[in-house]
Chain A
Amino acid sequence: MDEISPTARGTVPALTGVTRLPAAQATSDEFLLNIGPQHPATHGVLRVVVTMDGEVVKDIVPHIGYVHRGLEKLFENRTYEQIIPFTDRTDYLSAIANNFAYVMGVERLLGLEVPKKVEYMRVLMAELNRISSHLLWLAAYGLDMGAFTPFLYAFRDREEIAAMIEEASGGRLTTNYFRVGGFVHDLPKGFFPRLRKFVARFGKAVNELDTLLVENAIFVARTRGVGSIGRERAVSYGMTGPCLRASNAAFDVRRDMPYSIYSSLDFEIPVGRNGDTWDRSWVRIEEMRQSLAILRQAMDGFPEGDHRARAPRNIEPPAGEVYSAVEGPRGEIGFYIVSDGTRKPFRVKMRKPSFSNFSALPEILRGLKIADLVAVMGSLDLVVPEIDR
């Protein structure tokens, strides 16, 4: 399995079309197929070079870095507050989870306690964000597989979440809502009635989506048993989130490295059995149901209080380092922040789930047919800016 064909690694073929390997390097009918950097199936700017034997994938080499923005270098030249909006832009589908991980890290560096209400607001926002991200995945994945209708259903509900998040933060995708110690402003009037209405309705909508796409016979035929990865390999590749849980590993940062108020909430961790493409899809559907349960509990226990702690105006954490992780929609989002006692961090390392999940692609795909490539890549739920940072 670990054998890497030297031809595919050594030569980078032209950006378009099919390249035939030099006769001396090719065994049998091998050729190279280039997919990307601009291709609808990649959902962003990345490129994979596939060594094919007929329609069987022999090897696959991902090329990334097309949208690398050097954010970690940039962070070293920004103050702690100025970094928050950048964390949105690493993953435009889970800006809130990224905000969450970063501000929590800075708060730990400062030793800052946040009010109870802030914790509840953060959990509400994070779970809404998870549902909205899973809905977008479902919509786009359906399109990948040739199913157009689920897209419309998923976006109907996603629109409602986007509107609620916009009402609260002013932004739909890159919200920049979190601040060190709390939020930039409180939840607006009328937020809770709207949320209650959504929560009451959405349970039925998930069932709809489940039967429409994930339980659909054609979908099952294309995904069940395709692209499975075992528990040990998945862990060794550093996979997290739904992709890992599909491989029968019950690891969830919310439970195993508890943060905020998650240890006081009651929710289940859905786990797949085979680690195949269908399991990865099913886990996400199930997670939306669990997020709904969390939303209900957080709404019921929502306390009164301030939406912001008394944080210092200039944030100058004492020297030290911290790793703060949250369970994002795609897996473990972690910020490793090293402070040297000044207003700018000495180093910020972003640990991103898509990066590790994507690195397992060659392992998952070797030996499958080319038609499975799109199904497998879509099921990993990649966000390219997050891979490249």
Chain B
Amino acid sequence: MRSAEDTQDALRKRFPGIDARPVDPAPSVTVPPDALRGDLAFLRDELAFDFLVFVTALDRPADGVVEVVYRLFSHESRTSVVVRVRLPRDRALVPTVSDIFRTAEWHERETAEMFGVQFAGHPDPRRLLLPDNLDGYPLRKDFTHPNLIRLPEVP
């Protein structure tokens, strides 16, 4: 049984720059896209992070990036870790991890259609929730649609 402290030490050893974001106590690390698969496989196999809680993305137009967020949990040490990949908004391409965690398949399909992130090597890159005739990526901050009307600001 691996303890939470051991896991934290091992995380710090592998990712020297690992930090906790304000409020969320889970350590968070940003990795380059080509290291992602290796790092997630390492976290699953070596540190027993066997549960991918979710995959999502954050659109940050001010920085020109889309940030893909993977949150992992270990049933053994009962700790969480967050892995992030920062991608240029106009060419958001990241390898799929759906063969490492099967649940990633649906989460990646949702992230792809909502944020315009491409997951290279995805086994089933169809849309998941959105209709086929919708243009654009709804969860990007600059998404517009004739039916999308902003509410007036509340004073």
> Are B54 and A237 within 8 A (Cβ)?
no
Q: How many residues of B contact A (CB 8 A)?
A: 42
User: What's the Cα separation between A351 and B55 when bound, in Å?
Assistant: 9
Q: Report A-chain residues with C-beta under 8 Å of the C-beta of B35.
A: none
B128 within 8 A of A: yes
The reply to whether the CB of B103 lies closer than 8 angstroms to some CB of chain A is yes
Cβ–Cβ contact A65 & B129, under 8 A = yes
A79 to B54, CA, bound (A): 24
Which stretch from B8-16, B19-27, B87-95 is at the chain A interface? B19-27
Complex contacts, B101 vs chain A, CB 8 Å:
236, 238
Does B50 touch A at the CB level, under 8 Å? yes
A321 contacts which chain B residues (CB < 8 A)?
21-24
Majority secondary structure, B binding face: loop
Q: Of A108, A236, A325, A389, which one neighbours B102 at CB under 8 angstroms? A: A236
Chain A positions 346 through 361: 1 when the CB is less than 8 Å from some CB of chain B, otherwise 0: 1101010001100110
- Provide the main secondary structure of the chain A interface: mixed
Question: Contact: B22 with A346, CB < 8 Å?
Answer: no
> Could you tell me the distance between the alpha carbons of A337 and B25 in the complex, rounded to whole angstroms?
13
Give Cα A338–Cα B129 distance, bound, in whole angstroms.
23
Can you name the residue of chain B whose Cβ is closest to the Cβ of A111? B23
Per-position contact with B for A251-281: 1 when CB-CB < 8 Å, else 0? Answer: 1000011000000000000000000000000
Task: Report if A359-B106 is in contact (Cβ < 8 Å); known contacts: A65-B129, A65-B131, A77-B150.
Answer: yes
A56 within 8 A of B: no
Q: How far is the CB of B136 from chain A (nearest CB, A)?
A: 11
- Give the Cβ gap from B28 to chain A, nearest Cβ, in Å: 9
Q: Which residues of A contact B (CB under 8 A)?
A: 2, 4, 9, 64-65, 68, 70, 72-73, 77-79, 108-109, 111, 232-233, 235-238, 249, 251, 256-257, 318-323, 325, 332, 334, 336, 338, 343, 346-347, 349, 351, 355-356, 359-360, 363, 388-389
Given contacts A64-B129, A336-B71, 12 further A-B contacts (CB under 8 A): A73-B143, A236-B101, A256-B78, A320-B21, A320-B24, A321-B23, A323-B26, A343-B154, A347-B58, A351-B53, A356-B106, A359-B106
